[in-house]
Each structure stands twice: as structure tokens, then as C-alpha cells.
Amino acid sequence: MSVQPGASAPLIDPEDFRSWILYEDERLLVVNKPGLIVCHPSKNGPWSSLVGAVRAYLGLPTVHLVFRLDRETSGVVVLAKDSGTAGRLQKAMERRLIGKRYLAIVEGELAGPVTVDQPLGPDPDSCVTIRSKVVTAGSPGAQAAVTHFEPLARGGGFTLARVRLDTGRKHQIRAHALWLGHPVVGDKLYGPDERLYLEFARQGWTARHAALLPLPRQALHCAEIDLHPAGEPHVFRAPLPAELRTFCREQLGVEAAD
């Protein structure tokens, strides 16, 4: 699916949606969400969000996001068909029994693996209320956050990194990448100017976005999730999407592996 950047989330084609399905049984649906698709229902109808599309596809009045991805983050999303399954999986996530691994393209070339162990909290100085930042432990709203970055390929002033989280805080990867001095490529909120986020919400993609951002969406992808859907361990994988593969090839000079 080719998704164009715009202030409004694009509508999902039902035929495209079927190609996103990675796994389905009587309790779970696992999909590979493209970037720029919102997870939560919107006022623009069932095919304007991932949850709306899943409800329409399944013919169910309610489905449950076990966890969500930001609009611009692509990759594996797990949805439960009943509240009991959703509750069990959410509790497992809280106990860190479910593993998630991401791929990110960041600015600059990471010399080697690095772990960021820095608490995150709200950014009172930001013009965007949802923005997080590294804060002092014990400050209002501070939450412990640990992120591991492992470079897989470097070149052209960029790094393709595998990212693993010990905690699951809001915008954790993006805020920690910025703190490192290696922001996620294409990030409108944690990149060169946070006002790009608000401008995109109002106007969509503009010439100023194109001048400041190497990609029209943030280069963050949930590549793997390990679950136990039928009592047996199973890893669900989503390959790096075409636009991020193209960026790796053209800017880093590498063919990115899944």
C-alpha cells in the first residue's frame, strides 16, 4: 500500500487490508500496519483507522488493541477479539513477558551498541503537549525508561538500528534517540523543529517539511513481537516497508534485511 502524507489519515482499501494480516485465530488478529495509518477509530468512518478496519473485516462491534503504534510508526500490531484475551495479554506486557523489537533509521552514525537509561517525563517547555523528554529522576511525572540501540548498518550520515525496550513509555524510542543526539529520521515532533508536528496536523505535508525532513514519516518500525497465541511460543515478524528499504539503499548504501 502506498500511503501519502496528509493532515487527515488516509482511508484503508479493504483489499489492501487483507494483505496486512500476519496471523489470525479465534482470539487474535495480528497485522502489519503501514506508516501514516491511525490505530484508534476516527470520525471518518470504519476504513479510516486500523481498529475500524478490523471491526469491519471481522464483523464485530468491538475489538481490543493489545497495544498501539503511533500513526507514523509501521509494523506489528496485535488485536484481541475478546476482552478476556486482551486483558491477559496486556497483563503479560506489564510483566514484560511479551518481547517487542523495533528497527529505526536515525540521523548520524552510531559507533556501537548503546543503552540509554534515562527517565522520561512531560516536556513543559514544548509547544506540543504530548511531547516527552529526558528528565531528572524524582521530578514530577518522571518514569524510568531503558532503551537499547544496536547499529546494524551505517552510511551516508545515517544508522539503521535494532531497538529493544526494557520499559514502554510514551514516545520512548524517539525521545531517547533525540537525547542521544541521533533523532529518528523523519520525526516531526522530536526532529529539527517540533512545530513541524503542529503544521502537519493543520496543513499536511508542505515544502518546509520536505526541506527539513529526509522522509515524509518517521523511520520507526515494529519488526517483531513474541507471543503465545495458542500455548506455543511464536514470533510475529513484519519486514521493513518499501519506503524504508529504499532509504537504506539510497542513503546508507545497504540492502536492509528483515
DSSP-derived 3-state class of residue 250: helix
H or E element that contains 234: strand 234-237
Catalytic residue among 13, 16, 25, 70: 70
DSSP string, 155-219: ETTEEEEEEEESS--TTHHHHHHHHHT-PBTT-TTTSS-THHHHHHHHH-S-HHHHHH-SSSS--
Distance CA 121, CA 171 (A): 10
Please answer whether residues 220 and 104 qualify as being in contact, where contact means their C-beta atoms are separated by less than 8 angstroms. yes
The x, y and z cell numbers of residue 179, run together, are 537525547
Please answer whether residues 81 and 60 qualify as being in contact, where contact means their C-beta atoms are separated by less than 8 angstroms. yes
82 as an active site residue: the answer is: no
- List, by residue number, the catalytic residues: 70
